[in-house]
Structure 1
Amino acid sequence: MSRTVRTITATVAALLLATACNSAATSNSPDSKGSSVRGVTDDAIKVGGIVSMTTASGYSKKDTDLGARARFARADAEGGINGRKIDYLGAEDDGQDPAKNLAAARKLVQQDKVFAISPMSSVTFSGADFLQKQKVPTFGWGTIPSFCGPTYIYGFGGCMVPMPGGTISQTWPEGLKQVTHGAKGKTVAILANDNDAGTFAIRTYKQSFASAGYKVTFAKSSVPATSVPSDWSAYTKEILRSDGGRAPDIVVSVMQTPYNIGLFTAVKRSGYRGVLTDPTDYDPGLLAKSATKEALDGVHILLTFEPFETRSAAMKQFKADIKKASGGKDVPLNMHMMTGYMSADLFLSIAQKAGRNLTVASFQKAANGFSDTGTMVGDRALPKGQKESFGCGALVQLKNGAYRVSSPFKCYEPIPFK
């Protein structure tokens, strides 16, 4: 188990120990149709999700659930998976709270008896050890260490934050080279939240940007994760003097939208004219508020999937599926929808390969050696994706109230993570 996962689960260890005995006894009890496989009947596969729909900062990933519903609905409309429909229960809200995340995982497995969890979208994944022990195939965005290594947990774009011995995707710094006209002589400052995810992000991106040829002048996970600062001056002062008393060429934020708005607004007010970038703010819904639109104007946003602005057949299908799941309405697209959609898509693709005799063992056998090409996250391959990312992505820039592609979707060679 990684140090990060151990740290998170320590807060709920007593709860886990109290339930460990009876959980193993109930995980594979027969259902009403006599199946001995948890969550699988003759005509259905039961799936649930865990999503941070509410958070203390106001940030929400609720549309992750919509994305999953859209993809599962299409699978059912096309006849299901080897004759079985997907009984999607919807997503539990963990409130981005470790105890609630574990409680949601236990409920879905022990009470609802799901075969798989897809999507799991939260920076808090304290239920990871429980799901691994219970052999529950789990799918989400592999941006936290829990998606890197465990045999039953899968990132839809692969492992984005590998452990030592793995690799790091170079999509972000390599994509930025098109924005900064190369990395030679360019400096970078990286800021993240003061939590396990932030600490890990700093460690990862310091290596990533340095390997791409940038000089990292500042890299700290120092912003409180529990509340958005009202005064950013202490952070901006350090950042804007980090290059020998001068401002860096690029300011990288590895934080969520409310934090990015505060940080970028403060940086801009200082007169900063360099590049601002984050991996979060690709959400047309943000453009509805003029203050938000102004704060994020000019920011380059990392995507690990095809931008909505592309015209591929897969993107057209995605948009049609989301519209149908939204009752025929044209809703603003966002990256959370893509997280749910592609998490569901990877699960469905493996389940299809597993065949009619669906068990956890047959599912895992299908996953081991699974591969396909040309998806909206690039070429997928397992078990490679449980150790490294699929290495593909793009950058979009918010400019004058609209997103435009600033670095096209492309796959890059990863680097060793030390």
Structure 2
Amino acid sequence: MDRQRRTVQRIAVAVARATIALTVVACGASPISGHPEGQNCTVPGVTDKEVKIGFLYPATGPLADGFHAFRAGVDARLSAANADGGVNGRTLSYTWRDDASDPATNLVSARALINDDGVFGIIETTGAATGSAPFLHEQGIPVTGLALEPVWGADDNMFTHLSFASPGSITTWGDYAVSQGGRTAFILRTAFSETMRTIAENVSTSLRTAGVRIAGSADVSPSASPTSLGAQIKASGADTLIALTAPDALDQALIGARNAGVPLKVTLSFSPGYDQSLLQKYGRQLAGTSYFLEYTPFELDTPAHWEFLRAMNMYAPQLQPPVQGGALSGWISADMMIRGLQEAGICPTRQQFIHGLRAVRDYNANGLLPAPLDMATNAGQLNTCLSFVKVSDDGTRFNPEPTARCGRKI
């Protein structure tokens, strides 16, 4: 029986090909609507008993550590679905490939998943999706994942719950900064990252629209000098620090700013810093820092969070603590793949998946998103609704705002 075919997953840490067989159920809003036996489904990756999915991410390379949590979330979501029996009677398995965050390798790995491994669709998180995006669109391959590049908004086959890197801006960031007393901002960006440059431009536009003056900016790395950063921030006259950087770089900037006597009213960063382990590492240095999130904060403790944490502890115990934004993004990306298969019907095709998921007007990952997404119109559009959390004064916990803030497009 399908339910007797549960497998135990193992997270690979080296460059290798691995297939993790996961028994998966269609969960969420759509019920099981039939059984595939006897169906003559000839789409690659689909048999009477299984749908094979590809997973593409940087298992190696300088950015690899930042994506292991995402994979753990994918494993947990598929395995949680595993407990209930299958998407229309089919189990899901996945095969993964490494792209090392390199566009050329990304294309080679995507071709291998499609041509050699014969997968139906791909779950992807990487900073190099530009390498394979044209090929995957040409082949009509459904892709779900975390959008870290504008290319995610170009084609109808790519689905995401996160669109910070798309062109344009929203009022949400600026409105939040002003509500916290911000009037003059200094922006820190990750050095050599075009994605962070795009996000920085979007946030800058939002701040200016809200009446916040941009007093300066700097490209930084985790090895940046706190003294130098503090001097730059102080010289700018900023009372607001926007940090689109790695957590280590933000820590150095805050040390420098405080040593220089900068009276910061607002420090605002993005979701990679929303991590309990960082509070354990940096403690009071992060006190008062706010983070904007594309999902509902864990501290709101919803039933959807309970489901996520139960599955993480059961199926991905290697990730500790499990309360990590990267893992939740992986969970949501896998959930979106499952939802697309549900919408595609008993004998799914890639085109039915794309058409069906684009027709969903209220996708909210069972309550994990700040506001429902209209999949028909959200491609290439920034999310206007964001959640915000702030580090407590003693640096021991995140305090969430009780509801999401929703702005407008600029």
Instruction: Name the TM-score, length of structure 2 as normaliser.
Output: 0.80
Question: Could you list the per-position Cα deviations for residues 234-287 of structure 1 after superposition, in whole angstroms to 9, with x for gaps in the alignment?
Answer: 544333222xxx2x1211011222322333332232222312221020111223
Question: Could you list the per-position Cα deviations for residues 22-59 of structure 1 after superposition, in whole angstroms to 9, with x for gaps in the alignment?
Answer: xxxxxxxxxxx985312111121111222334443775
Q: Which residue of 2 aligns with 1:368?
A: 358
> In the alignment, which of 375, 380, 384 is matched to residue 387 of structure 1?
380
Q: Which residue of 2 aligns with 1:197?
A: 195
Secondary structure, in 3 states, of the residue corresponding to 2:67? coil
Q: Does 1:267 align with 2:261?
A: no
Matching residue's letter, 2:48: D
Q: Which residue of 2 aligns with 1:253?
A: 243
Q: CA deviation at 1:406?
A: 4.6
Secondary structure, in 3 states, of the residue corresponding to 2:235? coil
Q: CA deviation at 1:385?
A: 1.6
Secondary structure, in 3 states, of the residue corresponding to 1:396? strand
- Structure 1 unpaired stretches of 5+: 1-32
Distance 1:65 1:233 in 2: 37
Q: Which residue of 2 aligns with 1:5?
A: none
Q: CA deviation at 1:321?
A: 1.7
Q: Which residue of 1 aligns with 2:336?
A: 346
Matching residue's letter, 1:86: L
Distance 2:395 2:98 in 1: 31
Query: Equivalent residues in 2 for 1:9-408 (5 A)?
Result: 35-56=41-62, 59-89=65-95, 91-118=96-123, 120-125=124-129, 126-157=131-162, 159-163=163-167, 167-180=168-181, 186-193=183-190, 194-219=192-217, 222-223=219-220, 228-242=222-236, 246=237, 248-274=238-264, 275-279=266-270, 280-289=272-281, 292-327=282-317, 331-372=321-362, 374=364, 375-377=367-369, 378-399=371-392, 400-408=394-402
Secondary structure, in 3 states, of the residue corresponding to 1:154? strand
Distance 2:204 2:224 in 1: 27
Q: Does 1:412 align with 2:406?
A: yes
| 1:287–1:413 distance in 2 versus 1, CA, 3 Å | closer
Query: Is the 8 Å Cα contact of residues 190 and 252 (structure 1) preserved in structure 2?
Result: yes
Question: Could you list the per-position Cα deviations for residues 373-408 of structure 1 after superposition, in whole angstroms to 9, with x for gaps in the alignment?
Answer: 552112021121203134222122233343322534
In the alignment of these two chains, the number of paired residues is: 364
Matching residue's letter, 1:266: G
Query: Is the 8 Å Cα contact of residues 190 and 251 (structure 1) preserved in structure 2?
Result: yes
| 1:338–1:409 distance in 2 versus 1, CA, 3 Å | farther
Question: Could you list the per-position Cα deviations for residues 288-345 of structure 1 after superposition, in whole angstroms to 9, with x for gaps in the alignment?
Answer: 43xx335433321111111010122212212222122135997341111011001111
Question: Could you list the per-position Cα deviations for residues 154-188 of structure 1 after superposition, in whole angstroms to 9, with x for gaps in the alignment?
Answer: 1123x32323xxx53444333344433xx5xx111
| 1:52–1:239 distance in 2 versus 1, CA, 3 Å | farther
| 1:331–1:404 distance in 2 versus 1, CA, 3 Å | closer
Instruction: Name the TM-score, length of structure 1 as normaliser.
Output: 0.79
Q: CA deviation at 1:359?
A: 0.5
Distance 1:341 1:329 in 2: 13
Q: Which residue of 1 aligns with 2:9?
A: none
Distance 1:53 1:270 in 2: 39
Secondary structure, in 3 states, of the residue corresponding to 1:309? helix
Distance 1:55 1:294 in 2: 31
Query: Is the 8 Å Cα contact of residues 57 and 98 (structure 2) preserved in structure 1?
Result: yes
Query: Is the 8 Å Cα contact of residues 301 and 397 (structure 1) preserved in structure 2?
Result: yes
Query: Is the 8 Å Cα contact of residues 300 and 406 (structure 1) preserved in structure 2?
Result: no
Distance 1:146 1:40 in 2: 27
Distance 1:57 1:372 in 2: 33
Distance 1:46 1:294 in 2: 46
Question: Could you list the per-position Cα deviations for residues 344-394 of structure 1 after superposition, in whole angstroms to 9, with x for gaps in the alignment?
Answer: 111211221111120111111102321225521120211212031342221
- Structure 2 unpaired stretches of 5+: 1-38
What CA RMSD, in Å, does the superposition of the two structures yield over aligned residues? 2.6
Q: CA deviation at 1:141?
A: 2.0
Matching residue's letter, 1:213: G
Matching residue's letter, 2:240: I
Q: CA deviation at 1:70?
A: 1.0
Query: Is the 8 Å Cα contact of residues 71 and 341 (structure 1) preserved in structure 2?
Result: yes
| 1:236–1:345 distance in 2 versus 1, CA, 3 Å | same
Distance 2:135 2:254 in 1: 38
Query: Is the 8 Å Cα contact of residues 188 and 243 (structure 2) preserved in structure 1?
Result: yes
Q: Which residue of 2 aligns with 1:4?
A: none
Distance 1:52 1:267 in 2: 34
Distance 1:281 1:310 in 2: 18
Distance 1:329 1:229 in 2: 26
| 1:129–1:240 distance in 2 versus 1, CA, 3 Å | farther
